[in-house]
Amino acid sequence: MNKSKVFLRVNRVDAALCAQALEATVSDLHEAMSARGPGGLMSSRMRPVQRGAKICGPAVTAFVAPGDNLMMHRALVLAQPGDVLVVVSAAETSGAQWGDMAARYAMKKGLAGVVVQGCVRDTDTVEALGCKVWSTHIHSIHPDKSGHGLVNTPVVCDGVAVNPGDLILADGDGVVCVPRAEAPAIVQAALARMRKEEDMAQAVARGEAVWDLGGSAASYAAMDIEEIDAAFDDR
């Protein structure tokens, strides 16, 4: 890439909707999306630096050149309180995208958190600061600050299409992206699923079996399965 493009404005998903979505989990949103098509779930490589962390907010995106994080820093300057910075490195292990100074600045600005397809470093300090970061790699490798890239354009982060302003939810299970236009319906479906599981939890507390409550019993009964009243060794 020999020319950069930086879009200064983002059409963001509504902040009130993000607050609602924060009540749900990545699994809830993923399951709600899967009922309509691809589930928006980033791969199992994407892990939180800080255990117990959870964030939700509109995406601000950066695509950075190999071994460089200049465009990440430009996106960080443009990001607003409550945003989730989504960074995609063209060569994931070629240069750290995030460290303690960026974390301090992000905390001061009030960013919700950061999602990085690539390397982050200074993780002990980042965690102590309370900065919420998800990444595919932890590695201290030096980054330059002179490469071309893109800011606030569509990116593919860890296999998932992310447009600026899309809803990003991240927790201990990973990261999910919900397209901005679909977010209201998806969030409501996720919350409904969450309420159903809360009812199931109460039923389990009363002694009912997940086997019956979750539909496994009905599915099993409809299959051609031979049950044998004997031990395998006694055949």
Structure tokens that stand for 89 in this block = 């490195």
The answer, yes or no, to whether residue 36 has pLDDT greater than 90, is no
Instruction: Report percent pLDDT > 70 for the chain.
Output: 98
Interacting residues of 15 by C-beta distance below 8 A, sequence separation 6+: 58, 82
What's this model's pTM, rounded to 2 decimal places? 0.91
Rounded to an integer, the average pLDDT of 3-23 is: 97
Side-chain-facing half-sphere of 132: CA atoms under 13 Å: 22
The answer, yes or no, to whether residue 37 has pLDDT greater than 70, is no
156-195 tens-digit pLDDT = 999 999 999 999 999 999 999 999 999 999 999 999 998 8
CB atoms within 10 A of CB 136: 22
Contact 63, 155 (CB under 8 A): yes
The domain that holds 109 is classified in CATH as 3.50.30.40
Q: Terminal CA-to-CA distance of the chain, rounded, Å?
A: 67
Please give the tally of structural domains in the chain: 1
Domain membership flag for residue 39? yes
Contact 117, 157 (CB under 8 A): yes
Rounded to an integer, the average pLDDT of 86-98 is: 95
Domain membership flag for residue 231? no
Which residue, among 112, 120, 119, has the nearest Cα to 90 in the 3D structure? 119
Domain membership flag for residue 235? no
Question: What pLDDT, on a 0 to 100 scale, did the predictor assign at position 234?
Answer: 82
Domain membership flag for residue 110? yes
Contact 98, 126 (CB under 8 A): yes
Domain membership flag for residue 228? no
The answer, yes or no, to whether residue 60 has pLDDT greater than 70, is yes
Which residue, among 56, 102, 89, has the nearest Cα to 158 in the 3D structure? 89
Question: What pLDDT, on a 0 to 100 scale, did the predictor assign at position 214?
Answer: 83
Range of the domain at 80: 5-190
60 to each of 18, 91, 125, 150, how far by Cα in Å? 14, 20, 24, 11
104-128 tens-digit pLDDT = 999 999 999 999 999 999 999 999 9
Domain membership flag for residue 112? yes
Structure tokens that stand for 140 in this block = 């201290």
Domain membership flag for residue 98? yes
Domain membership flag for residue 197? no
